[in-house]
């Protein structure tokens, strides 16, 4: 990120890292919500880069290329079309594995329904469909972590990115519409999500 910068603030450095190329590195720890870099170019929009969580000294700084809430297929396609690479970050790997498992489970359900309707029984597919599978994980990132991260950091009003407030890091501020969300509001949202409340956005959709 930001290797185009000529002058860096004291707390940042550019380093060559094996397998990563030129990286922007943090030279000291940073707090959640801290503005690590602010650019005000004459020609375009002023930009502030805010730490989404605490960072240790030596951490590589990365940015999201697109809105955090975009679905996996859309992200992958845009990264291929606009940035010319296929992303294999932990989140993309976890979401791809989860998606493949859902497709397999749906296929197993169809096979089961066909078998029940008098077609040939596909024992393998039936077994597969009945299994409780453990969450996929890549390092520390698993499906639950991804779901919670998106619930915490995607604005439910405008789909902007919600970064922690430096003055109250358990609350988040939307970079697009300026809405704030407290920890309690986030927990209520997470609880509704995991309770299977799929109609969270029903009202919003009806208004559109
Ligand atoms: Zn990715
Ligand atoms: Zn917003």
**Hey, is 193 helix, strand or coil?**
helix
Ligand at shortest distance from the CA of 64: 1
Six-digit token pair at 5?
A: 């910068």
Ligand 1: distance of its center to the CA of 127 in Å?
32
What pLDDT was estimated at residue 7?
80
What pLDDT was estimated at residue 208?
45
For the cut 90, the answer to whether the pLDDT of residue 191 exceeds it is yes
Ligand at shortest distance from the CA of 172: 2
State the Cα–Cα distance between residues 121 and 126, nearest whole angstrom.
8
What pLDDT was estimated at residue 207?
47
Enumerate domains of the chain plus CATH numbers. Answer: 1-63 (2.170.270.10), 69-151 (no CATH), 154-208 (no CATH)
State the Cα–Cα distance between residues 166 and 174, nearest whole angstrom.
13
Ligand at shortest distance from the CA of 88: 1
Ligand 2: distance of its center to the CA of 160 in Å?
5
Which ipTM score applies to this complex? 0.93
Ligand 1: distance of its center to the CA of 62 in Å?
12
For the cut 60, the answer to whether the pLDDT of residue 57 exceeds it is yes
Ligand 1: distance of its center to the CA of 59 in Å?
18
Q: What is the average pLDDT across 54-66?
A: 94
Ligand 1: distance of its center to the CA of 67 in Å?
12
State the Cα–Cα distance between residues 152 and 56, nearest whole angstrom.
21
Ligand at shortest distance from the CA of 85: 1
pLDDT band at 187 (very low <50, low <70, confident <90, very high): very high
What pLDDT was estimated at residue 36?
96
Ligand 1: distance of its center to the CA of 78 in Å?
11
CB neighbourhood size of 48 (10 A): 12
For the cut 60, the answer to whether the pLDDT of residue 205 exceeds it is no
Ligand at shortest distance from the CA of 163: 2
Most confident among 104-113, 134-143, 170-179 (mean pLDDT): 170-179
pLDDT band at 66 (very low <50, low <70, confident <90, very high): confident
Ligand at shortest distance from the CA of 180: 2
Read off the pLDDT of residues 91-116 as tens digits, 9 standing for 90 and up: 999 998 988 888 888 898 898 888 88
State the Cα–Cα distance between residues 147 and 143, nearest whole angstrom.
6
What pLDDT was estimated at residue 11?
97
Ligand 2: distance of its center to the CA of 181 in Å?
10
Instruction: Check: CB of residue 67 under 8 Å from CB of residue 61.
Output: no
pLDDT band at 2 (very low <50, low <70, confident <90, very high): very low
Distances (CA, A) of 13 to 17, 23, 97, 152, 168: 12, 8, 35, 29, 28
Question: Bridge-partner residues for 208, per DSSP?
Answer: none
Mean pLDDT over the full length of the chain? 86
What pLDDT was estimated at residue 51?
96
DSSP label at residue 181: E
Ligand 2: distance of its center to the CA of 161 in Å?
7
State the Cα–Cα distance between residues 178 and 96, nearest whole angstrom.
32
Rg (C-alpha) for the chain, rounded Å, is 21
Ligand at shortest distance from the CA of 89: 1
């Amino acid at each position: 990120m930001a290797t185009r910068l000529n002058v860096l603030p004291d707390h940042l450095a550019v380093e060559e890292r094996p397998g990563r190329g030129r990286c922007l590195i943090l030279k000291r720890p940073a707090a959640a919500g801290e503005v690590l870099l602010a650019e005000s170019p004459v020609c375009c929009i002023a930009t502030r880069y805010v730490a989404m969580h605490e960072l240790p000294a030596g951490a590589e700084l990365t940015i999201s290329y697109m809105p955090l809430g975009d679905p996996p297929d859309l992200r992958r396609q845009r990264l291929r079309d606009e940035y010319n690479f296929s992303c294999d970050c932990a989140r993309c790997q976890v979401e791809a594995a989860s998606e493949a498992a859902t497709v397999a489970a749906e296929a197993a359900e169809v096979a089961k329904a066909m078998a029940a309707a008098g077609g040939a029984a596909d024992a393998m597919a039936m077994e597969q469909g009945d299994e409780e599978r453990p969450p996929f994980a890549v390092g520390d990132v698993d499906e639950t972590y991804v779901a919670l991260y998106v619930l915490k950091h995607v604005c439910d009003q405008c789909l902007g990115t919600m970064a922690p407030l430096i003055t109250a890091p358990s609350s988040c501020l939307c970079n697009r519409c300026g809405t704030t969300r407290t920890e309690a509001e986030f927990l209520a949202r997470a609880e509704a999500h995991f309770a299977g409340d799929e109609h969270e956005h029903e009202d919003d959709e009806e208004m559109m």
